[in-house]
Structure 1
Amino acid sequence: MKYNQLKGKIGFKIDIQKDRVNLITAENEITAYWDKETLKNYFERKLPKLLYVKAGTKGSGSNEEFWFSEAWLLSGFDFDSFVQLLKEGTILVDIRIGQYPDGRTHDHGTGFRVFPDKLDLCFSHRERIM
């Protein structure tokens, strides 16, 4: 995997080991890690089923309208696929630090971001319901 960049400077990369997912700095230091079994259990508990709905939009703000075109019921979170997508860079790690208007920072927690057209690859069962 290659390093990400923030404002033109090297940030971090993901290093996947047998039992851990490491967050590596440009100085090759492990700054954080996730135990694979803990991640697997968390995702399986948090996402036993997911309803993914696609919609077109028209307008904006209070005048925005939605046209729901597809709905998929996804189930059977596939941790091995998740890890593979993480290796490929299809799933990204977001360090979500926000800033209040007065300049103070706040931590929104770390997130794993998957592009919508790849979301179904994280599940073993996919059923189109609309």
Structure 2
Amino acid sequence: NPQSFRVVFEGEKLVLKNKSKIEVYWPISILDDVLKVKLDKILLVFAETKGERKIKNEKFRFAEAYLLSKLNTNKFKLAVESDKLKVDIRIGVYRSGENKGKYHDHGTGFRINKRDFLHLFDKLTQII
């Protein structure tokens, strides 16, 4: 990435390394709590589409579905370390209105390939 950001685990912190050497980190205890609440149980569905996207004639056929539970924080750490799970720092700038030009923070997010997402959980039940 152009900013040379990378994240690493150091002790009990997820640390954002940066060339400005500004100290940025997330305590693992907070990540643990938030992730387990938000990802306690997930239904992950893979679908095939037919028709033109995002219009009335678009149709879906559900090909696979999995009920995921028991997020494993060690697997989460491994996904970060192996660069399969990306950390997004979601900061934007208002483009119009009275706040035009001001920054706003959408919070930190995580991105991962859907197939890799399956491997973050200890319990996986295929439904379809």
Count residues with an aligned counterpart.
122
Structure 1 position 35 matched with structure 2 position 11: no
Task: Choose the corresponding residue for 1:75, options 69, 78, 86.
Answer: 69
1:56 Cα deviation from its structure 2 partner: 0.9
Kindly report the root-mean-square deviation, in angstroms, between the aligned alpha carbons of the 2 structures: 1.5
Show CA shifts across 1:33-54 (max 9, x none).
1111111121112211100000
35-44 or 120-129, larger mean C-alpha shift: 35-44
Structure 1 position 20 matched with structure 2 position 13: yes
Could you say which structure has the higher strand fraction?
1
Note the residue ranges of structure 1 that are not aligned, 5 or more in a row: none
TM-score by length of 1: 0.85
Note the residue ranges of structure 2 that are not aligned, 5 or more in a row: none
TM-score by length of 2: 0.86
Find runs of 4+ consecutive structure 1 residues off by over 6 angstroms: none
1:11 Cα deviation from its structure 2 partner: 3.2
For the residue of structure 2 that corresponds to 1:80, the secondary structure is helix
| Residue correspondence of structure 1 range 1-130 to structure 2 within 5 A | 5=1, 9-30=2-23, 32-58=24-50, 59-63=52-56, 64-102=58-96, 103-104=100-101, 105-130=103-128
